Structure 1
């Protein structure tokens, strides 16, 4: 029999005639019942709290899947886009190695004797001559080679000028080679100069060899001026190779 049943039984005893009530037992059983109710109530509250926590945990865990819930995007650090840096502009080392004087510009004065090539443009002679040049920062470049025309009255017109842009203009070997640029109206033969004891200069183009004509500069016999006959090498055609040989046919 539970405590509650015993209490109810004690109270029903008072309803029977002549029954004697044990007040001490009734009070004792009543206190015991209230105590157990309080304990049970605390346990129920604890159980309810646990259930609420479990429900909250389940609901929170389900939030990402709830279509009514707006999920805030995770903030991710994004690097700034790369900035394109323009390439550094390249600057030519001094003047262009091949130049064509403009109309109205005075022709540079020849240094030493003018070389007559034997080629004619109407009444004009095709001539070659050395001129003075100045290249900033290159103190050992002081001369260039010009291709021009000399009129019957002796007037010289420069069509093309070539010069080194670095190093030394008297160093042994080949220096800048001039090719026809098509701007003079009179085709300019391929020409240049070599420093050394050259007796032959042979160019190669399209697998065939073409010999050049030679003349030494009057101011320095080590400077050998050469040019190719336009009938054998068309003006403007680029050489595939070029060699110089001495009097013993040795390659320089």
Structure 2
């Protein structure tokens, strides 16, 4: 097993002190790096462990914060009160993403020309908005985040986009899937959309011991498949060498 070094990083964004989790692979040279964004509830051990898993594969990985102080909401109403205004404001999403990107770029092990952005839910919306802002990324991957942007801005995306969603997701229904696909296609983006049959929203996240919004359910098989698809996207667009 590859030795991974981890540390907590604090940085400013959205008027808050964000607390992220940085995972660094063994070795000394620069290599590819990945921004990893959580769903609307915020960053927790699930995302930190995913960052560690990416570092095991050779990526510098930052699980970034959305809500300040590394907060993870367990109350659905509190989560929606924080996340919905973010989703309605592309500039705030971009600012949160750029602040996390700066942390990743400040890490000496990061190759600044080889960065991808992966996100779940709201974190996926951050990844997409970075692309629409023209940030130099090698790949964008989202799960449960088929958000559409302001007219014409998808043309600024300069890398492949992969998106995954559950067929039974009431938060990202068929109409939203169609709108996302139309936006990507009209912009000439190299895009893919995988629909996981029978899965609902946040199907990738293990079950939690508190109330969730309706339409959220874990799907173990598709969770594993979505992770393999994310890793496959990175292997294609951001291969680890050496």
TM-score for both structures, normalised by structure 1: 0.27
Higher relative contact order (CA 8 A, sep 6+): 2
More strand as a share of residues? 1
Question: Which is higher, the Rg of structure 1 or of structure 2?
Answer: 1
